[in-house]
A and B are shown apart, each in its own frame.
Chain A
Amino acid sequence: MAFTIQFIIDVLSLGGAYALMALGLVIIYGILRLVNFAYGELIMVAGYTMYLSSGSGLPWIVMAALAVAMAVVFGIFTDYAAFRPVRAKSVTAVLITSFAFSNLLQNAALLFISPRPRNVPLPPIFSQTVEIAGAITPVRNLITIAASIVLLAAVAYLMRKTTLGIAMRAAATNFTMARMLGVPANLIISSAFALSGFLAGVVGILWIGRIGTVVPGVGLEPLLVAFIATVIGGMRSLPGAVVGGFLLALIDTTLNYTLPQDLLKFRDAFTFTLVILILLWRPAGLIKGPASGQRT
């Protein structure tokens, strides 16, 4: 019983974080059909903002809000630096500019801050544990679950009920048509980047809360997770991203518990093999998005 609860909490907390990461990537992909390679660096930006503000004596929650705000700012900045100038050109051009931009941010952190890990301030609650029906769980896992439920609900509400969300979904289905009906293209794209940055900022705090330190390469693993989750779930679909995130967490956690120690090092390779199998079965991912419109 205790094991079952432990397992469920592990899957849900990891899956919640994964789902948020994947969602941030798909929001942009859905509208622009473009992958943002600099997405992981938004998490890094959030982490370094926390580190840089740690000496300021502000309450933790203010620092966290500041970190999320910086991630939003850099998200919009990504749009202006790497996407807007080449958006109308080839897909490959944007992939390359966003990859270059990701390298730029990482090396800027390397040059101006430090290649060595930096401690990030965390409230004591992040390192405490609680016991639920015999299963000992770190509180941060429960915080992650709560945060992901709240955020997923908020994003669902935003996408379904607000004008902005409806406009974004319309743009994702058929961008040209949406523009003709008066949806301002640049505003929608910038809001998508802002929302993506917001999700990256929150995930960044939760993710770095697990590790406790931030390094220039911290964004790579979340980026990879988001990539794989979106490919499993379906690149075009927001629910698909969430499903993909939870499924990937389920696969990862199961492998964590079942693989022997000397094979555990290869976990990523096993996960990826499973992803290939899923893609062989459904090349478009588990959930198909809206019928494909033209890329802008």
Chain B
Amino acid sequence: MKHSYITAALLIGVIVALVVGTELLGIRLYDRIVTNLLISLVLVIGLQTFMGNSGLLSFAHIGFMGFGAYTSAVLTIPAQMKGMALPDLYGFMTGVEVSPLLAMLVAGIVAAIVAAIVSYPLMRLSDAAAVITSFALLVVLYTVMNNWSAFTNGPRTLFGLPKVTTMPMAAVVAALVVVVALVFKESRTGKLLRASREDEVAAAALGADIPKLRWKAFVLAAFIAGVGGALWGHFITSFAPKSFYLKETFLVITMLVIGGANTVTGAVAGAILVTFAYEGLRGLEGTLNATAAGAGQVVGLTEIVLAIAMIAFMVLRPGGLFPTREIGHILARMRRKKETSA
């Protein structure tokens, strides 16, 4: 338990260091990248609370992020802009305008409620069937966002969200999420869930109600994803449903897997590492496109490199950078080893 405090302190320390360092540099581009990184961090840790503890891969996460983003959008777009941004919105909703912070909370709750309803039957499945249905769920959530014009303006870009997400704000949310994920991991539900991850039969024999445990983790993950989506929406201020689909899913899963899905430390490390790699590769793509040979034709290079990195990681280090122990635990062990050897 004690090393969880160390882990929390260290991870929050990393977040603070990132923000302070960027503030000191004062370059706007870095500001953007770090804010993006912090939002990714929220999403990746959200996924970790489900995937790390239950051991099941979930593809639907980004769908809940989308629901969160759209919920917050509908609640916060100024009333005089609603006619233009959301022409088909139901009449009674047009006057609604709440503060963005409240909207973010509601976004999380809406995502959690949707997740609670749809995932209840799905959590009874295990292994491949669970993964497949989560993939199908992502497609369904996307279909709904793409077609429910009243709330989402259909496949067209939705604009007009107030820009409220700043770097410090994203950092505060990310720090809170780190704490929530660590608390959940050490809670009774988290421990039982991890027992079921290691051995389903043994855990069930000890009386663990596995579908219910998974369901709780899934709802929590969806809540975090919803908040993360709202945070992202108020950062980017205009988006379309295609932002919440396979490309984003791939990125979030890459981050989590490279860092190590079983630990919160891994989620943080993966998000940081992959964001920097991603931005570097995007820059390279841009440079190539500017040359005569590239001529604006270079697309998908970043994803190809990331995909190869992901396969290489799975082959060489299937647990990711931090496969089993949190950073606090590792440090505590190192200290103890030094003491015993001295």
A29 at the interface (CB under 8 A from B): yes
Give the residue among B121, B143, B300 with the most A Cβ atoms within 10 A: B300
Q: Are A224 and B314 in contact (CB under 8 A)?
A: no
Q: Shortest CB–CB separation between residue B87 and chain A, in angstroms?
A: 16
Residues of A within 8 A of B254 (CB): 100
Question: How distant is the Cα of A277 from the Cα of B225 in the complex, in angstroms?
Answer: 26
Smallest CB-CB separation from A224: which chain B residue?
A: B139
Residues of B within 8 A of A276 (CB): 118, 121-122, 133
Q: Are A115 and B299 in contact (CB under 8 A)?
A: yes
Q: Are A266 and B143 in contact (CB under 8 A)?
A: yes
B168 at the interface (CB under 8 A from A): no
B257 at the interface (CB under 8 A from A): yes
A81 at the interface (CB under 8 A from B): yes
Chain B interface size band reads: 35 or more
A85 at the interface (CB under 8 A from B): yes
The 0/1 profile, CB within 8 Å of B marked 1, for residues 83-118 of chain A is 001100111110111011101101110110001000
Which stretch in A10-18, A132-140, A141-149, A226-234 binds the other chain? A226-234
Which stretch in A46-54, A56-64, A267-275 binds the other chain? A267-275
Q: Are A279 and B299 in contact (CB under 8 A)?
A: no
Q: Are A272 and B311 in contact (CB under 8 A)?
A: no
Q: Are B132 and A35 in contact (CB under 8 A)?
A: yes
A288 at the interface (CB under 8 A from B): no
Which of B300, B310, B318 is close to A100, meaning CB atoms less than 8 Å apart?
Answer: B310
Residues of A in contact (CB 8 Å), total: 45
The 0/1 profile, CB within 8 Å of B marked 1, for residues 254-296 of chain A is 0000000000011011001001100110010100000000000
Q: Are A97 and B314 in contact (CB under 8 A)?
A: yes
Question: How distant is the Cα of A82 from the Cα of B55 in the complex, in angstroms?
Answer: 20
Q: Are A231 and B300 in contact (CB under 8 A)?
A: no
Q: Are A228 and B136 in contact (CB under 8 A)?
A: yes
Question: How distant is the Cα of A104 from the Cα of B299 in the complex, in angstroms?
Answer: 12
B307 at the interface (CB under 8 A from A): yes
Residues of B within 8 A of A93 (CB): 314, 318
A218 at the interface (CB under 8 A from B): no
Question: How distant is the Cα of A100 from the Cα of B311 in the complex, in angstroms?
Answer: 7
Smallest CB-CB separation from A221: which chain B residue?
A: B139
Q: Are B144 and A103 in contact (CB under 8 A)?
A: no
B105 at the interface (CB under 8 A from A): no
Q: Which residues between 178 and 235 of chain A lie within 8 Å of chain B, taking CB atoms?
A: 220, 224, 227-228, 230-231, 235
Smallest CB-CB separation from A228: which chain B residue?
A: B136
Which of B55, B140, B303, B310 is close to A269, meaning CB atoms less than 8 Å apart?
Answer: B140
The chain B residues found within 8 Å of chain A, CB to CB, are 55-57, 118, 121-122, 124-125, 127-129, 131-133, 135-137, 139-140, 143-144, 146-147, 246, 250, 253-254, 257, 261, 298-301, 303-304, 306-308, 310-311, 314-315, 318
4 smallest beta-carbon distances between A and B, as pairs? A107-B300, A110-B300, A104-B307, A265-B147
